[in-house]
Amino acid sequence: MDVISSSIKTYNIWFEISGVEVGQHLYWQIGGLQIHAQVLITSWVVIAILLVSVIIAVRNPQTIPTDGQNLFEYILEFIRDLSKTQIGDEYGPWIPFIGTMFLFIFVSNWSGALLPWKIIELPHGELAAPTNDINTTVALALLTSVAIFYAGLSKKGLSYFEKYIKPTPILLPINILEDFTKPLSLSFRLFGNILADELVVVVLVSLVPLVIPIPVMLLGLFTSGIQALIFATLAAAYIGESMEGHH
């Protein structure tokens, strides 16, 4: 009986950790704005992880890279190749933007899967990956949209807007709609996949023994990385497209 009760207690703990609260948030009032506090907290944690990792890796650079320096050089090379492939020869100024998007989304997604956020109790809502909130994904998509317009205008000036009436002015509404759907698709693709992954784990934990959801959690780590790659790749492709001036 002791073994059974202990197993049930352990299972309940894992069930509580894997639970998802929908529609509940902890709000902070800053000026006249109402802000989701848990998203700010987890975003600060993600930013701190990135800053600390970079500082540790590059505080004493070596001619022959150490493990940490080697890892970050590999990540930089990966982001550089991604930017060059999607944007073209003028990729250089966009490496920081694409790299920031990729690393923030990647670390956010992995923090939601690996860090036991739900152990920390809040008066309302719960801590989770920043990308688990639609406001975060919309903000990232809007930043990408601003970058797209900036890239096109800085390269072509006001003639950038000529693309909306090419090949015929009849397509003007469709071309405008296309530019609005780009950030929307980025936002909902990222948010939907992250939320769906968490919900799948919650359902499996509630229905079957823990040994079965664990492989799904590991698969979630892989798909989380893929989502970061997809977002960064599409953002770079849209920027490159706006600079080239064709669809």
Mean pLDDT of 35-47: 83
Q: What does 51-76 look like in DSSP terms, one character per residue?
A: HHHHHHHHSS--SS--HHHHHHHHHH
Per-residue pLDDT reduced to its tens digit, 184-209: 777 777 766 666 666 666 666 666 66
Per-residue pLDDT reduced to its tens digit, 76-115: 899 999 999 988 888 888 999 999 999 998 998 888 777 7
Q: Is the CB of residue 138 less than 8 Å from the CB of residue 36? A: no
Per-residue pLDDT reduced to its tens digit, 115-173: 766 677 766 667 777 887 778 888 888 888 888 888 888 888 877 777 777 777 787 77
Q: What is the mean pLDDT of the chain?
A: 75
Tokens 């296309």 belong to which residue?
178
Q: Which residues of 176-205 are buried (b: 16+ CB within 10 A; e: fewer)?
A: eeebeebbeebbebbbebbbebbeebeebb
36 φψ region: left (φ > 0), alpha (ψ -120 to 50), beta (else): beta
The three-state secondary structure class of 210 is coil
Distance in angstroms (rounded) separating the CA atoms of residues 189 and 186: 5
- Per the DSSP assignment, residues forming a β-bridge with 27 are 36
Q: Which two tokens stand for residue 106?
A: 């990647």
Q: Which two tokens stand for residue 65?
A: 């890279």
Q: Is the CB of residue 116 less than 8 Å from the CB of residue 17? A: yes
Residue 9 has pLDDT above 60, yes or no: no
- The radius of gyration computed from the CA coordinates of the chain, to the nearest angstrom, equals 21
Mean pLDDT of 226-236: 86
Q: How many other CB atoms are there within 10 angstroms of residue 112's CB atom?
A: 22
